[in-house]
């Protein structure tokens, strides 16, 4: 298969370099947590704890797929695991090496990865949704030792989802049947939707405040140059409409109607 262009994900750089987040995933919130960046960081730590606690005894080698900033790998390496990272994002390549003190990094999309060794466990923390569903388990089967584990924590789309809400995330039923068809037996199915949705409320608040800040910053210009403002508004009208339409992605009520956020663990049994 032809190697695709490396990714350079600006949204992830924003979370990391602007918001100062080490984790690029949702968080697990307490009911009474206020929507603050400090609480988001604590919530993301709880999410990471959930993953680490799920790793079965006896696992020594781990492939951290879509390893982001390398934060989870750093923790796993410190805990004594032989961890390696994989990501198609050029910015994450150097970061990973610094974070993990030079642990091996594979600069690939998972679906294009040709492993030279097999691992006891694969972890996909909010990265599985980017891997084409028909390649996810077939590639995982090439990467894992027989009896190895796949931990995938992510959101999944229900059959009733439509519009922009239905566009990101794998269809839950399709995902489960692909796992079954490829000899992956489900061991953990932990629905954490109710605990993660505050991440959306926090993001929505952040975006709305960004709009207000933009409004304040441009107020003088708009007052002084009404005609130019009209022209600019006309030129960017489609972009504005798209942003408005996509605000539904941050609506936590809608999210719970059409998506589920789940920690899955599967065990791979090679039956051939």
Using CB under 6 A, list all residues that contact ligand SAM. Answer: 7, 9, 12, 23-25, 65-68, 86-89, 92, 109-111, 125-127, 130-131
Q: Between 89 and 178, whose beta carbon lies closer to ligand SAM?
A: 89
158 within 8 A of 193, measured Cβ to Cβ: no
Taking the complex as a whole, the smallest distance from the CB of residue 55 to ligand SAM amounts, in Å, to 15
Taking the complex as a whole, the smallest distance from the CB of residue 231 to ligand SAM amounts, in Å, to 37
Distance CA 236, CA 234 (A): 6
Q: Between 66 and 148, whose beta carbon lies closer to ligand SAM?
A: 66
Token pair for 75: 């923790």
Taking the complex as a whole, the smallest distance from the CB of residue 129 to ligand SAM amounts, in Å, to 8
Q: Between 106 and 198, whose beta carbon lies closer to ligand SAM?
A: 106
Taking the complex as a whole, the smallest distance from the CB of residue 86 to ligand SAM amounts, in Å, to 6
159 within 8 A of 174, measured Cβ to Cβ: no
Taking the complex as a whole, the smallest distance from the CB of residue 240 to ligand SAM amounts, in Å, to 26
Q: What are phi and psi of 138, to 5 degrees?
A: -65, -40
Q: Between 123 and 179, whose beta carbon lies closer to ligand SAM?
A: 123
Q: Between 89 and 120, whose beta carbon lies closer to ligand SAM?
A: 89
Taking the complex as a whole, the smallest distance from the CB of residue 123 to ligand SAM amounts, in Å, to 8
Q: Between 128 and 148, whose beta carbon lies closer to ligand SAM?
A: 128
């Amino acid at each position: 298969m032809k190697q695709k262009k490396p990714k350079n994900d600006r949204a992830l750089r924003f979370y990391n370099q602007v918001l100062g987040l080490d984790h690029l995933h949702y968080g697990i919130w307490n009911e009474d947590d206020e929507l603050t960046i400090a609480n988001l960081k604590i919530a993301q730590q709880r999410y990471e704890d959930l993953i680490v606690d799920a790793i079965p005894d006896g696992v020594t080698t781990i492939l951290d797929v879509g390893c982001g900033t390398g934060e989870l790998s750093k923790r796993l390496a410190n805990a004594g695991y032989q961890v390696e990272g994989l990501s198609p994002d050029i910015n994450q390549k150097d970061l990973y090496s610094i974070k993990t003190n030079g642990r091996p990094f594979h600069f690939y999309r998972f679906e294009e990865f040709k492993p030279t060794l097999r691992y006891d466990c694969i972890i996909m923390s909010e990265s599985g949704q980017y891997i084409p569903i028909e390649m996810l388990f077939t590639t995982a089967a090439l990467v894992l030792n027989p009896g190895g584990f796949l931990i995938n924590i992510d959101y999944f789309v229900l059959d009733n989802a439509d519009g922009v809400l239905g566009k990101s995330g794998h269809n839950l039923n399709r995902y489960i049947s692909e796992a079954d068809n490829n000899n992956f037996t489900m061991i953990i199915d932990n629905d954490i939707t109710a605990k993660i949705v505050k991440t959306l409320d926090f993001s929505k608040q952040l975006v709305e405040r960004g709009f207000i800040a933009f409004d304040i910053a441009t107020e003088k210009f708009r007052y002084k140059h009404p005609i130019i403002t009209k022209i600019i508004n006309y030129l960017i009208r489609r972009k504005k409409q798209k942003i408005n339409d996509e605000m539904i992605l941050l609506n936590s009520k809608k999210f719970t109607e059409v998506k589920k956020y789940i920690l899955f663990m599967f065990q791979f049994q090679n039956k051939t």
